[in-house]
Amino acid sequence: MSELWKKSAVDMVDLLRSGDISPVEAAQAAIARIEAVDGKTNALPIRCFDRAIEQAQTLDLTSHRQNPKSLCGLPIAVKDYNDVAGVHTTYGSPIFKDHIAERSDVTVAVLEHNGANPIAKSNVPEWAGGHTFNPVNGLTRNPWNLSRSAGGSSGGSAAALASGQVWLATGNDLGGSLRTPAAFNGVVGLRPSPGVVPRGHGNLTFDTLWVEGPMGRSVVDVALMLDAGCGLRTEDPLSFNHHCGSFAQAIKQHSLPERVAFSTDLGIVPVARDVRAITENAAADISRLGIDVSDDIPDFTGVLDAFHTLRGVLLATLKGELVQQHRDEILSDIVKNVEVGFNVTPDQLLDAERVRWTLTRYMAQFFESHDFLICPAASIAAFESEKPFITEIDGTPCKTYIDWFAITFALTMTGCPVISLPCGFTDEGLPMGLQVLAKPRREDELLSFAALLEEHFDVRDLVPIDPREAS
């Protein structure tokens, strides 16, 4: 029982489904691991252990074993932007430090219906950001090097996975919020197409920039969680029933793509030298599989400015009233980002939508001759955790506090599914990942190719780890 934290999510669900372990034993194993290591990482500051034990004791295993999508009582972490009934949701904000959700949001409710058992809430930046720290629950540290950032905003989820505290975790992604932490922590995060995973009331109904997605230690674990979390829900009019009946089965059907494109920088962002070297080596490895790797990528001109505009409008719509009422209690960078939305002119908004519209056409042309687009999952490796954000990359200044992860939000603008998976390590032993982008709503093909790459890169089994002090 003391070694259960080392097992994969797939193996754990098999044990639960067969009855070799009980949901209570799985919850107890997670609790023991959290209590043993989270004092170092601070990945899961909000715990709901009693709730999880009660849920485990009352789970109807007979019906769940008949549901092929069920996680059969597997404990998971839920990001602190999502509601779990009876548990604090703080958003990392002092304004909501005492807020307790009355019910689980739609994203979590679907997972719970399919046998997931929330055991803790994972730490987040205050409202949004690429580095996980906030005035309510503090700083989350990277288990590969406790002096480094876990990324954000799903930094708590990624650090908890890498350190073996949970087997699966929820993430969400606007500009890279699950892809960057996945890269920094050596785990896997999937940003699905909009509508694949239903979203709750905290998101704008028809926004397509912010999506919910699964995180795990491997591609097959992520596929397992996607099966448990996808589907049509009336609360989310963009949600739909995916054409793929089982992502876990789909990834077993490996077939080599004929042609992919690789770029270190998408032609628009600075990327650190060590990240370039690692990901170029990974691209060379991909070509050795017999896949044609080209550098013929879509034109991303104007995409970054367009994203800033649309992100500003989104934040202003979501948080504008809150900023007006509680300005002095909100992180100044978030206030500034909301004000960007207030100050957007009609011409800027029209230009941003035209850029996104044009990019959609470029992507369609790209997929006529390519199967996937590949690039680094971050422009830098995990940085010192005491820095609030990165101001320059190899001497190139970043214009805003989020521009250091522009390589992820550029792909957000495509509307395509993107996965982040580890592909190697820096000389300091810090993980780095690749983003792989597929055609819209082709999560099954994306997961299948990612699983093949994961097998080839041979870094999957290096997690989970015990948290490591800075060397």
Q: Indicate whether 322 belongs to any domain.
A: no
What is the distance between the alpha carbons of residues 435 and 190, in angstroms, rounded to a whole number? 9
Backbone angles phi, psi at 266, to 5 degrees: 55, 10
Count other Cβ atoms within 10 Å, centred on residue 470.
Answer: 12
Residue type, 450: A
Q: What sign for the dihedral angle of Cα 214, 217, 222, 224?
A: negative
- pLDDT for 221 beyond 90: yes
Q: Indicate whether 198 belongs to any domain.
A: yes
Residue whose token pair is 């600075």: 270
pLDDT digits (tens, 9 = 90+) for 287-304: 999 999 999 999 999 999
Under a CB-based contact definition with an 8 Å cutoff, are residues 117 and 124 in contact?
no
Q: At what angle do helices 273-287 and 443-457 cross, to 10 degrees?
A: 100
pLDDT for res 54 = 98
What is the distance between the alpha carbons of residues 122 and 212, in angstroms, rounded to a whole number? 14
Cα 411 → chain centroid: 14
Which residues constitute the domain of residue 386? 4-298+363-399+406-462
Lowest mean pLDDT among 75-79, 110-114, 305-309, 386-390: 386-390
pLDDT digits (tens, 9 = 90+) for 262-271: 999 999 999 9
What are residue 374's DSSP bridge partners? 262, 436
Residue whose token pair is 């999510």: 9
Residues 6+ apart with CB under 8 A from 180: 130, 151, 152, 377, 378, 405, 408, 420
Residue whose token pair is 């993107």: 418
pLDDT for res 2 = 80
Q: Indicate whether 331 belongs to any domain.
A: no
What is the distance between the alpha carbons of residues 59 and 148, in angstroms, rounded to a whole number? 39
Q: What is the dihedral of CA 146, 148, 154, 160, to 10 degrees?
A: -20
- pLDDT for 138 beyond 90: yes
pLDDT digits (tens, 9 = 90+) for 416-457: 999 999 999 999 999 999 999 999 999 999 999 999 999 999
pLDDT for res 201 = 82
Q: At what angle do helices 443-457 and 219-229 cross, to 10 degrees?
A: 160
* pLDDT > 70 in the chain, percent: 100
CA angle (228, 232, 233) in 5-degree steps: 100
Residues listed for the chain: 471
204: left (phi > 0), else alpha (psi -120 to 50), else beta?
A: beta
- DSSP string for residues in 168-179: EEEEEESSSTTH
Lowest mean pLDDT among 33-47, 83-97, 107-121, 381-395: 381-395
pLDDT for res 42 = 98
What is the distance between the alpha carbons of residues 460 and 134, in angstroms, rounded to a whole number? 30
Under a CB-based contact definition with an 8 Å cutoff, are residues 343 and 315 in contact?
no
What is the pLDDT of the chain when averaged over all its residues?
A: 96
Q: What is the dihedral of CA 311, 317, 318, 322, to 10 degrees?
A: 120
pLDDT for res 50 = 98
Backbone angles phi, psi at 285, to 5 degrees: -60, -40
CATH number at residue 129: 3.90.1300.10
Under a CB-based contact definition with an 8 Å cutoff, are residues 90 and 79 in contact?
no
How many Cα atoms are found within 13 Å in the side-chain-facing hemisphere of 189? 38
Q: Indicate whether 129 belongs to any domain.
A: yes
pLDDT band per the 50, 70, 90 thresholds, residue 47: very high
Helix (H) or strand (E) holding 150: none
What is the distance between the alpha carbons of residues 452 and 200, in angstroms, rounded to a whole number? 33
Provide the annotated active-site residues.
Answer: 79, 153, 177
pLDDT for res 402 = 85
Q: Indicate whether 438 belongs to any domain.
A: yes
Using alpha carbons, list the distances in angstroms from residue 243 to 45, 285, 443.
37, 31, 10
Q: Indicate whether 303 belongs to any domain.
A: no
- pLDDT for 147 beyond 90: yes
pLDDT for res 22 = 98
pLDDT for res 188 = 98
Nearest to 240 by CA among 199, 269, 272: 199
Number of domains in the chain: 1
pLDDT digits (tens, 9 = 90+) for 387-403: 988 999 999 998 887 88
What is the distance between the alpha carbons of residues 313 and 250, in angstroms, rounded to a whole number? 37
What is the distance between the alpha carbons of residues 454 and 447, in angstroms, rounded to a whole number? 10
DSSP label at residue 381: P
pLDDT digits (tens, 9 = 90+) for 225-257: 999 999 999 999 999 999 999 999 999 887 899
What is the distance between the alpha carbons of residues 441 and 448, in angstroms, rounded to a whole number? 14
pLDDT digits (tens, 9 = 90+) for 4-32: 999 999 999 999 999 999 999 999 999 99
Q: Indicate whether 15 belongs to any domain.
A: yes
pLDDT for res 33 = 98
Q: Indicate whether 203 belongs to any domain.
A: yes
pLDDT for res 446 = 98
Check residues 384 and 401 and name the one with the higher pLDDT: 384
